[in-house]
Structure 1
Amino acid sequence: MIRRVGEAVRPGQRYRLRPGVYAVLLQGADVLATFQEAPTPEFQLPGGGIDRGEHPIAALHREVMEETGWHVAITRRLGAFRRFCYMPEYDLWAEKLCTVYLARPARQICPPTEPGHSAVWLPAAAAVDMLGNPGDRAFLARALRQPR
């Protein structure tokens, strides 16, 4: 059973399954996050939706590059969580199935190419409270408790 985080499922609301992949990117005592300006300004773990026919690991590399400009080296899968939410950028009620990986930033290639996103280094311990959704916060906290 995959844990649900965030707001409760709305009775009668139809949700579309939206699988996605995200990365906890630790380097020393810092974490590389993305700051998304809209629809709500917030810090997030880099990542996003898996395109139809795309392998999840390829999607993770693509999403992290788009949102941070970094190549990453994936260490291991940390787990998954579900979020039920409205995605205004897609006008979509989604059941987001979020798989989270531990990875390390390997090389910065360019600035983020995703409009409205900025790559931001945050102190990892403080970022546990700064990330915009409870699933991101829980997986960052879990990664900080585990040996790297």
Structure 2
Amino acid sequence: MLSAGVVVFRPGKRVLLVHRPKYNDWSFPKGKLDRGEHAAAAAVREVAEETGLHVRLGPPLGSQRYSLGARMKTVSYWTGRPVGDHDVSGYLVNAEIDDLEWLEASEAAERLSYDYDRSTLAEALKARRRTTPLVVLRHGPSRSRKAWRGDDRLRPLLQAGRVQAQRLVPLLAAYGVSRVVTSSSVRCLETVTPYADTTGWSLEPDDRLSEEDCSPKRVRRVVDDLVGDLVRDDRGAVLCTHRPVLPEVFEALGIDDPKLAVGEMLVAHLRKGVVVAAERHLAR
């Protein structure tokens, strides 16, 4: 059984816990993945359903794995912070969650019902400081370069790539992406257009991220400017580009090239412009 949840913080080292009357326990908001749902998207959805809060994910935490009788349960966790108001007083309690409360970390550790949750809280406290996400995304599956006879900039996604682009929407939203920076080539534009159309955020095409017009100096300028903006504005962003351009992007970020697969993304969590944590995801 796969589940996902969030250790939600607000200023003052206060942690949000929920009470489940069915089990008479206190824990973090979490729940089962829907069919085909990515764990990160499920984590944000579960927090919204169980607390009424919309959160932005921060660095990932270690997963929990424990027995439920004949089955094993795995829970993926992230740190997270509310987007906007963190007031939960208006939440309508129900048969699933009949109480929820912001608690100081020390009180939360005492209130939690399970040792594995206390271990997760201890890990989360070390990673709780605010970060800003920069998602580096390789475009989805596209038409074969050899079979395409037109301008390579116009080479589109395959149907599989368009499906994958739709599946990226809740995954990018989980990290609060509000800037969509992309190569001006069609296959990159088509990878991020569903997210822009769904959220209303504007596309920011940039020729310097295309295979034809990139150079180490130009890519570094794009990345440096974007990181500077993110540090100043605390806005999550996605940068979509091509395999030959990605090594320059990662060098500008000061991290090793993870050699992303087609349609795969790396979430770089930045603090003061420096990558302090990273995670990789593929929307299937």
Higher relative contact order (CA 8 A, sep 6+): 1
Instruction: Summarize the Cα distance change of 1:112–1:51 in structure 2 as closer, same or farther, 3 Å threshold.
Output: farther
1:103 offset after TM fit, Å?
0.5
Q: How does 1:126-137 map to 2 (within 5 A)?
A: 126-137=107-118
% identical equivalent positions: 32
Q: TM-score, normalised by structure 2?
A: 0.40
Task: Show the counterpart of 2:183.
Answer: none
Could you say if the C-alpha distance between residues 41 and 78 of structure 1 is closer, same or farther in structure 2, counting changes exceeding 3 Å? same
Displacement of 1:115: 2.8
Distance (Å, rounded) in 2 between the aligned partners of 1:37 and 1:124: 22
Separation in 1, partners of 2:30, 2:94 = 11
Matched residue of 1:139: which SS?
A: helix
Pick one of 11, 16, 19 that aligns with 1:35. Answer: 19
**C-alpha deviation, 1:147, in angstroms:** 5.7
State whether residues 3 and 32 of structure 2, in contact with CA within 8 Å, keep that contact through their aligned partners in structure 1.
yes
Instruction: Give TM-score, length-normalised by structure 1.
Output: 0.74
1:66 and 1:112 in contact (8 A); partners too: no
What is the rounded CA distance, in whole Å, between the counterparts of 2:53 and 2:8 in structure 1? 10
- Report how many aligned residue pairs link the two structures: 124
Q: Could you list the runs of 5+ residues in structure 2 that have no partner in the other structure?
A: 130-284
Q: Which of 1 and 2 has greater Rg?
A: 2
Residue 51 (1) aligns with residue 34 (2)? yes
Contact 1:65 1:112 in 2 (8 A): no
Residue 111 (str. 1) matches residue 105 (str. 2) = no
Deviation at 1:145, TM superposition (A): 3.2
Between the aligned partners of 2:58 and 2:101, the Cα distance in structure 1 is 21
| Higher normalized strand content (fraction of residues) | 1
Deviation string 1:123-143 (CA, Å, 9 cap, x unpaired) is 111211221222211010112
Give the whole-Å Cα distance in 2 for the aligned partners of 1:37 and 1:68: 15
Deviations 1:73-127 (A, max 9, x none): 11111111201024xxxxxx43110111010122458625763313211111121
**2:51 is aligned with 1:68:** yes
Over the residues paired in the alignment, what is the CA RMSD in angstroms? 2.0
Q: In proportion to residue count, which structure has more helix?
A: 2
Aligned to 1:136, the other structure's residue is in SS state helix
Within 1, Cα distance between the matches of 2:92 and 2:68? 25
Moved over 6 A (4+): none
SS state at 1:31 partner: strand
Gaps spanning 5+ residues in structure 1: where? Answer: 1-17, 87-92
